[in-house]
Structure 1
Amino acid sequence: MTTSARDPHEHYDAADVRALIEENPLAWVVAGGGSEATTLPLIGEFGEEGQLTALVGHFARGNPIEDALLTDPRATILFTGPQGHIPTRLALRDNWAPTWNYARVRVDAEITLTPERTGQAVDLLLQAMEGSGEDAWSVDALGDRYAGMIARIVGFRAVVTRVRGRFKLGQGEDLATLQSIIAGLPDRELARWMERFNADRLQQ
């Protein structure tokens, strides 16, 4: 997958999108032509070729975004991955200007509220966050409180219409500068994503 034949920061594939969303599930959901926005953890659905096809989530009843989506189901969903300042000292070159590296994905989608599947939306999130081991928390622990809780939230499914990513992770740096930055970067998550997007060069 790519959105630009010339910009190396817009070269990515479906696996990169999936990894960013699964590692950073909290997204801005912007609806109503930008009139309403909220942050929500979302779980992705993926097609046979690994492409993002939908996102599932839930929010509290009364959230202003509910009315906005009922009026217009179109929404922009913004995921931000690792990001941070890259100072000149890491490049070991005085003539190298500091920069900011980041990974982000923008998803355009149409959202349908699915109150009949609210419980499933909650379970999906719990499965992703808690896992399925013996120590995983379950809604069963709520007992009689569960019915009251689930009545105060509503599930939704966002069908993806477009995905646009931008991953500015050192692709334009010469190899020696790239290696120096990665080695000295305190944020090891950002360093790991820089390694991911420059794997071919770093393995030379």
Structure 2
Amino acid sequence: MGVVLTEDEDKNILVDLVTTNPLAWLVSPNLVDATLLPLLPIVDDQQNIVAIEGHMARTNPHIKTLETEKSATILYKGPDSYMPTAWVANKRLAPTWMFSSATFLVDVTLLPAEKDTQEHLKRLVVFMEKINGSSWSVDSMEERFEPMSRYVIGFRAAVKSVNRRFKLGQNEEPDVLKEMVAGLMSADKADIAAWMKRANGRIDW
């Protein structure tokens, strides 16, 4: 029987997905303008992702589209892996693929004021440094920060809806899950193995 995530578990996995995989696609409805960017999620006290911040080069033609078309989609993908049947004892099982993803529908507001963009850049650096276990600050750039920041423009995307997909073995039997995780570990894929264990926390690992 599959494991159904609680609402809190679902929220926490979604937040982990966007914070540990911050490089995501911002795509406009014309499907021509699509930019891969490091993004900063804004999370409220209830673990809801209410907005997503980012920035792009002012020379990026995508900006022209965002000036008139606010609606956009943000696409995140976490670690993934093909799951060969060779990893499990029951050879009647078909191979499959494990992954996690999230699609956010957003309304984008550009931040043309230099101060707003600079504040975003500071927040993003703090976020990125924290998840990478370091503590560099833009203050280290001294007088270079302000002129360099003028080459980019920040934006804030208000989240309208989100569609998440966590295919992490919730429908597998416990013994099969353990075989799959062991296979992932032997294949040096500890990242997706950890996600599968996280999504199936009721199993005695």
Counterpart in 2 of 1:199? Answer: 201
Counterpart in 1 of 2:46? Answer: 49
Counterpart in 2 of 1:111? Answer: 108
Shift of 1:7: 11
Distance in 1 separating the partners of 2:169 and 2:10: 17
Identical aligned residues as a percent: 35
1:29 pairs, out of 23, 26, 29, with 26
Distance in 2 separating the partners of 1:15 and 1:72: 31
Distance in 1 separating the partners of 2:201 and 2:144: 49
Counterpart in 1 of 2:13? Answer: 16
Distance in 1 separating the partners of 2:200 and 2:145: 47
Distance in 2 separating the partners of 1:70 and 1:92: 56
Distance in 2 separating the partners of 1:180 and 1:32: 42
Scaled by the length of structure 2, what TM-score is found? 0.88
1:50 is paired with a residue whose SS is: coil
1:109 is paired with a residue whose SS is: strand
Shift of 1:143: 3.0
Cα displacement string for residues 151-184 of structure 1 (whole angstroms, at most 9, x for unaligned residues): 1100110000001100111111111111111122
My pick for the range that moved more, 149-158 or 12-21, is: 12-21
Give the aligned CA root-mean-square deviation in angstroms: 2.2
1:44 is paired with a residue whose SS is: strand
Counterpart in 2 of 1:3? Answer: none
Shift of 1:8: 6.0
Shift of 1:65: 1.3
Counterpart in 2 of 1:156? Answer: 155
Moved over 3 A (4+): 6-9
Q: CA distance change for structure 1 residues 74 and 127 in 2, over 3 Å: closer, same or farther?
A: same
Q: CA distance change for structure 1 residues 160 and 170 in 2, over 3 Å: closer, same or farther?
A: same
1:162 is paired with a residue whose SS is: strand
Q: Residue 3 of structure 2 contacts residue 170 of structure 2 at CA under 8 Å; is this kept in 1?
A: no
Shift of 1:48: 2.5
Q: How does 1:1-204 map to 2 (within 5 A)?
A: 13-116=10-113, 117-131=116-130, 136-185=135-184, 186=187, 187-200=189-202, 202-203=203-204
1:38 is paired with a residue whose SS is: strand
Scaled by the length of structure 1, what TM-score is found? 0.88
Q: CA distance change for structure 1 residues 172 and 77 in 2, over 3 Å: closer, same or farther?
A: same
2:154 is paired with a residue whose SS is: strand
Shift of 1:144: 2.9
Shift of 1:15: 1.2
Gaps of 5+ in 2: none
2:128 is paired with a residue whose SS is: helix
Q: Residue 26 of structure 2 contacts residue 36 of structure 2 at CA under 8 Å; is this kept in 1?
A: yes
Aligned residue pairs total: 195
Q: Residue 126 of structure 2 contacts residue 137 of structure 2 at CA under 8 Å; is this kept in 1?
A: no
Q: Residue 32 of structure 1 contacts residue 71 of structure 1 at CA under 8 Å; is this kept in 2?
A: no
